[in-house]
């Protein structure tokens, strides 16, 4: 614009139609299996969110899986301009990873995700 301000145009999300699933909205980022909290403050924030979602939190192997899962989701949400993200669907995406499909399935049922 002439006065130096930036004109912001918000575009609607892209959509597709599938015979099997009907009307679909495309995600803008994929959940990647590679993130953990960078510091203690971030870890406490993730733990607080896990508590709010009634998922395991704190120390130990089982809560760590959920910490990693939620951390991956938070990074995907941050990368997606509208917060629309996709979960990897294939079994190969969960074999040998920090958490399995059972953990991500519980994460997908979070009321605010």
Query: Could you report the per-residue pLDDT of 68-113, keeping only the tens digit for each?
Result: 888 988 998 888 888 888 877 766 666 555 666 666 666 555 544 4
**Coil vs helix vs strand at 75:** helix
Give the pLDDT mean for 13-21.
83
58 φ/ψ sector (left φ>0, alpha ψ -120 to 50, else beta): left
Residue pLDDT, tens place only, 27-45: 888 888 888 899 999 999 9
d(CA 38, CA 86): 23
Three-state DSSP class for residue 86: strand
Which tops the pLDDT comparison, 13 or 48?
48
> Which ranges of 21-97 does DSSP label H, i.e. alpha helix?
40-52, 61-79
Domains of the chain, by residue range, sit at 25-108
pLDDT exceeds 70 at position 65: yes
**Helices and strands per DSSP (H, E), number in the chain:** 3, 4
- d(Cα 90, Cα 17) in Å, to the nearest integer? 21
State residue 111's pLDDT score: 47
Confidence (pLDDT) at 10: 61
């Amino acid at each position: 614009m002439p006065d130096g301000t930036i004109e912001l145009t918000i575009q609607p999300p892209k959509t597709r139609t599938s015979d099997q699933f009907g009307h679909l909205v495309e995600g803008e980022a994929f959940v990647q299996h590679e993130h953990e909290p960078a510091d203690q403050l971030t870890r406490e924030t993730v733990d607080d969110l896990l508590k709010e979602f009634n998922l395991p939190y704190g120390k130990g192997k089982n809560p760590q899986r959920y910490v990693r899962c939620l951390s991956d989701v938070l990074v995907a949400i941050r990368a997606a301009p509208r917060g629309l993200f996709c979960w990897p669907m294939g079994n190969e995406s969960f074999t040998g990873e920090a958490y399995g499909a059972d953990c991500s399935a519980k994460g997908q049922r979070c009321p605010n995700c």
